[in-house]
């Protein structure tokens, strides 16, 4: 009898935890990760695609809290994002590089997710730059390469996002 009395409150407590964890998750059920990494200060960036309607969403935060999401619940959100790239082959002799960016603007800021490689020094970097469009001040949040999942290079070939012509330093 005591078990029956305790079972219902326990059910609602567990339901509350489950709902809260889905509400704060960086990857929701029905989404697939296109690109993600952990930042050097332990936060996580994800670029996800809905399996149902191919919408795309950017989320930034911790495993417990989404600190920023774009574009929210927008329909046809793919139009809010652009992909650009620059590639120069030839290795070290030609200072070869492969620069890849996915970017969007929101409330006076441009968010630039980057995935770059430079042959000189075999330098590879991932991260997100946030540019204040009024002052041009840039904040660079660097990612940890060991935590990277996916590649921005895939957008070059899959025609999932509109290809833009902006390059970022």
- Reading the chain (169 residues) residue by residue, the pLDDT tens digits are 444 444 444 333 333 433 333 345 899 999 999 999 999 999 999 999 999 888 999 999 998 899 999 997 767 888 999 999 999 998 888 999 999 999 999 999 999 999 999 999 999 999 999 999 999 999 999 999 999 999 999 999 988 999 999 999 7
* Cross-strand partners of 47: 35, 58
To which H or E segment does residue 85 belong? strand 82-88
pTM: 0.83
Any idea what the Cα angle at residue 95 is, between residues 131 and 145, rounded to 5°?
A: 55
The distance in angstroms from the start CA to the end CA of the chain is 68
CA distance 1 to 13: 19
Any idea what the Cα angle at residue 71 is, between residues 21 and 147, rounded to 5°?
A: 55
Identify the pLDDT of residue 19: 34
Q: What is the distance, to the nearest Å, from the Cα of residue 114 to the centroid of all Cα atoms in its chain?
A: 10
């Amino acid at each position: 009898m005591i078990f029956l009395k305790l079972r219902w409150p326990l059910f609602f407590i567990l339901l509350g935890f489950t709902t809260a964890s889905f509400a704060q998750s960086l990857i929701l059920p029905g989404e697939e990760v296109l690109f993600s990494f952990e930042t050097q200060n332990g936060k996580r960036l994800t670029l996800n695609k809905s399996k149902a309607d191919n919408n795309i969403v950017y989320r930034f935060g911790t495993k417990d809290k989404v600190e920023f999401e774009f574009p929210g619940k927008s329909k046809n959100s793919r139009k809010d994002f652009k992909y650009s790239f620059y590639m120069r082959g030839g290795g070290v002799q030609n200072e070869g590089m492969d620069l890849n960016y996915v970017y969007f603007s929101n409330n006076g800021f441009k968010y630039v997710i980057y995935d770059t490689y430079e042959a000189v020094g075999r330098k590879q970097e991932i991260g997100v730059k946030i540019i204040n469009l009024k002052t041009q001040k840039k904040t660079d949040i660097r990612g940890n390469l060991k935590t990277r999942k996916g590649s921005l290079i895939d957008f070059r070939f899959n025609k999932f996002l509109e290809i833009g012509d902006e390059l970022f330093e």
